[in-house]
Chains A and B, each alone.
Chain A
Amino acid sequence: MPTDPVCGMFVPDTSDLHLDVDGQRFYFCSKSCMQKYGSPKEELKILRRRLTVGWSLSIPVILITYLLSPSVFPYRDYLLLVLTLPIQFYSGFGFYEGAYHAIRSRSANMDLLVSMGTLTAFVFSTFITFFPSTIPGSEVFFDASAFIITLILTGSFIESLTKARANSAASKLIGMIPNITHFQSQDGEVIDRKTDEIRQGDKILIKPGEIASVDGTIFDGRSEVDESMLTGEQEPVLKFAGQEISSGTRNLNGILRVTVTRTGKDSTVNQIYELIQKAISGRAKVQRIADVFSSIFVPLVIAAALAASLFWGFYLNSTGYGLSLEIAVLAFVSVVVIACPCAIGLAGPITLLISSNVASENGIIIKNTSALDRLSKVTRAVFDKTGTLTESDPEVVEVSPISGITSGEVLQLAASVEASSNHPIAKAIVHRAKEQDISLLATLELAEIPGIGITGKVNNREIKISRAKREGGSIVAVTVDGKEAGTISLSYKIRDSSLTAITGLRSMGIKSTMITGDSLEEAKRVARELGIDDVHAEVLPGDKANIIKKYQEAGDYVIFTGDGINDSVALETADVGIAMASGTDIARDSGDIILLKNDLNHVVYAKIIGEKTIGKIKQNIGWAIGYNVALIPVAGGALVPLFGLSIYSFLPILAAFAMGMSSSSVVLNSLMLRRKIHMLLKPFAGTEKRSLAS
């Protein structure tokens, strides 16, 4: 059964109260929940109106209570009642609504506590107003009822403002997407259309300075693209025909014509936004303590409030104190109002939300927040070699002609034949030829023999390219009419970030391991250069997961970093699977964490983010539980022996103030995580070539 995304109530999927957002249907228990979800700005407006009414009436209420004696103005209590009524039933409406939903779903929440506290104070005061002689000498405390509502609403208002900051990266990302896209019709005419009218397969134009509104493949044009909003990388990337461009990236200096591949909720920006939002519903192990506390909290508080109330009622009555009922009511109100389950409930989710936002700013997408817990326990980092520690495609390092032919000619002949192949070696040769502005020649009678090479006829000459693996990469022999014309050497370049990442992990006490299908010699070469502790070479793709399992059985907590699609089993087996993004479709990638930028230093960043996040959650939970454990006894009267019963004249208001601020303090404390992580990552930024350990 679906749950209401606002209040968590179960709602039958036959309910008429639903909203479709980006192709996903959400069900709601009430119109107000639907409004809260559908138009948060409207919700904030309502909160502001309720707050304005609350403050503009609460101040006169407290002034009249303390400055105007009933002996001077006998109708004072009636005036207070009239002034409090709008606060009680307009400003406080949201609490009653929340309490009603909680009772309906047989649960208990913060709204129930606030409703019980304020209604008790209000009903008692109303009774005293109309029947003053029933409890002689008793005062009304409309001021308590009014201020409880106003102060708690103020706390909610501050909390909603700070929460908006918590989600700033995700909101900024989604807010950047232009509403208008330049659609190119079949006859080449460019028309401006609303972005949500653009469909897969459409042709669009992205002008210099504009942000891509959808994902696509460039079919014409060449330009530098700023991907910093997605990956955190400040250097622009050169993009040209055949390459993919993601929504949220900025075209800097050339016109790009693009075939749309993903729009709306499937686009990269929306996928990232969705994953960040999901962080809220994620869990860290430490939150279990908060969950246990939360599940018994409200009934426990009500029981404590009743116990305090009964104790003071009976005790004061037995001593002959005339206002025992009044103190009993005030003790009950103070306890239910000071208790704040929200601070406990928010401690984990708000920290996870901030942490996911900070991670996304650095090009790290946390798909499974529970992996953050395991990140803090990791003892071994296992890496796939090709495409992870090294670049995924080889590059030409040397062209060696043999005799009577130039290196340019060898490259031209090889590239002309290889142009039709999809083999990574072929792509590297063609790429090098294009880089050197070498024109490709027409090729006939092409034949590719898998694992061997490719042949073809260029200018009536028989060209044969034989591909062979060797240590450190591959070597290609080019023969013309049966005679060797030259060789082309290719190599898988080790990523600049590999060395710093492995050194950084070692400084954290984490051992490194490489798994590769390549030869032992090649594996050892890379391991030697990077200082990797253990090597597994000539491993079949399916065996990577078995090696990880063996490490786990030996007691290691393992991070595996690899390709998001080809290494999916290994990524799922590891305690934390980190995938290097395989393209623009993040949702398809396996793993707990996705790195949008091919920079292995981000594995170290992820570890730091994980550790700091868990630390902050623990701190928040400790603070929230500590707050309740310390202040509930105070509200129950623990300080009466020191300060006397007079503290109850202001305790309910102080309780409301403390309660209103406690959730905000959790949010503010969590926001400090952002600064802390930025501070810790700062020394690593732009120091890929420098050892992290130093």
Chain B
Amino acid sequence: MIRFDKSVLKFLGGKEGKIYFLHLRYVPGPCNDDICSPLLKMELLESADPEDEYVAISETPVKIMVPKSKAKEILKQRGDIIIKADRLKRSLTISGIDYLPLNV
């Protein structure tokens, strides 16, 4: 289930219908080890990564698009996905996706 925090509507200022794309980044973990896996960072950006194909997981008030290859895994987690506005960064943040394996 996707929930939008009240801050999102304020952030949008009435301009609904915007499209945000989930970008995934893997950053090196704190352990320099061939078994230690990289850490996943998630960002919602207004532009799409040309290397990915996207599908929508929500339509209103903001259309949230996620990489097609990860969509099934996101939905299977059955987590509460929460979208909030980060005023400092002037962007939306996403939480509630616990893990997305690299190999899915």
Contact = CB atoms under 8 A, between A and B. Distances in A.
Interface of B: 26-40, 72-73, 76-77, 98-104
Contacts of A353: 35
A294 B101 contact: no
Contacts, number: 109
Given A109-B28, A109-B29, A285 B98 contact: yes
B39 A342 contact: no
- Give the interface centre of A342, A353, A572 by most chain B CB atoms within 10 Å: A342
Contact of A109 (B31, B73, B101): B31
Interface in A321-372: 341-342, 344-346, 348-350, 353, 368-370
A348 B31 contact: no
B99 A98 contact: no
28 contacts: A3-B38, A8-B26, A8-B37, A37-B34, A105-B27, A105-B28, A109-B29, A109-B30, A110-B32, A280-B35, A281-B37, A281-B101, A281-B103, A283-B37, A287-B99, A288-B98, A291-B40, A294-B29, A295-B30, A341-B29, A342-B30, A345-B33, A349-B36, A368-B103, A369-B101, A575-B76, A663-B31, A663-B33
Contacts of B99: 283-285, 287-288, 291, 370
B51 to A, nearest CB: 9
Interface of A: 3, 5-9, 36-37, 98, 101-102, 105, 107-111, 163, 278, 280-285, 287-288, 291, 294-295, 297-298, 341-342, 344-346, 348-350, 353, 368-370, 374, 572, 575, 663
A295 B102 CA distance: 18
Contacts of B29: 8, 109, 291, 294, 341, 345
Contacts of A6: 34
A346 B33 contact: yes
| A281, A285, A663 — most chain B CB neighbours (10 Å) | A281
**Central interface residue in A8, A101, A287, by most chain B CB within 10 Å:** A8
A504 to B, nearest CB: 24
B71 to A, nearest CB: 11
A37 B35 CA distance: 11
A5 B34 contact: yes
B64 to A, nearest CB: 20
Contacts of A278: 103
B31 A341 contact: yes
A344 B36 CA distance: 9
Given A8-B29, A370-B101, 7 more contacts: A101-B32, A109-B30, A283-B37, A283-B99, A288-B98, A342-B36, A346-B35
A342 B31 contact: yes
A346 B31 contact: yes
A6 B28 CA distance: 10
B27 A8 contact: yes
Contacts of A98: 32
Contacts of A107: 27-28, 30
Report, nearest first, the 3 A-B pairs whose CB atoms are least far apart.
A8-B28, A345-B31, A341-B30
A163 B36 CA distance: 12
Contacts of B40: 283, 291
A294 B28 contact: no
B34 A368 contact: no
A165 to B, nearest CB: 13
B36 A3 contact: no
A629 B32 CA distance: 21
Nearest to B29: A345
Nearest to A342: B31
B30 A3 contact: no
Contacts of A284: 99
